[in-house]
Amino acid sequence: MSNSRKESRKKLMAFTPVYDLNRKTLLGYVGDLTLKGAMVIGEKSAEIDTNLVLGIEFPEAPPTMTTTRIVISSRVAWCRQDNEDAQYFNIGFEFIDISTENLTIIEAVLERYQFRHAMSAPGR
């Protein structure tokens, strides 16, 4: 497995829960996010190549968003036990057939995060 990524990921500082909508269970919380997928940190492992419908609930809507929640089909691309805390798993999701609306929402979230990051890291 290659460690290189085609797109850089943006770590989210906000508390962002991710749900498996088919099973109606909490999978964990967003660790990082891109337009093509997300890493979720959770307490249970996930089977690679499983397709899930995710519900991602952002804590607040940026000004360009009308909702704080997206529903998106995804595939489990990888799953690894966390290096720092063995009770957690890092699960990589690849988004499938992302809608224009969801793409716009994720772009707005990433833009807002980048702004917060620049403001919260003086001297960088």
Q: Find the CATH number of the domain harbouring 42.
A: 2.40.10.220
Residue type, 38: A
In a domain, 5, yes or no: no
Number of domains in the chain: 1
In a domain, 98, yes or no: yes
pTM, full prediction: 0.78
In a domain, 3, yes or no: no
* 115 or 93, higher pLDDT: 93
Give me the domain span that covers residue 21: 17-116
Q: CB neighbours (10 Å) of residue 27?
A: 25
Spatial distance between the Cα atoms of 123 and 55, rounded to a whole number of angstroms? 36
List Cα–Cα distances, 54 to 21, 64, 83, 84, 118, in angstroms.
6, 22, 25, 25, 29
pLDDT (tens digit per residue) in 71-107: 999 999 999 999 888 999 999 999 998 999 899 888 8
In a domain, 73, yes or no: yes
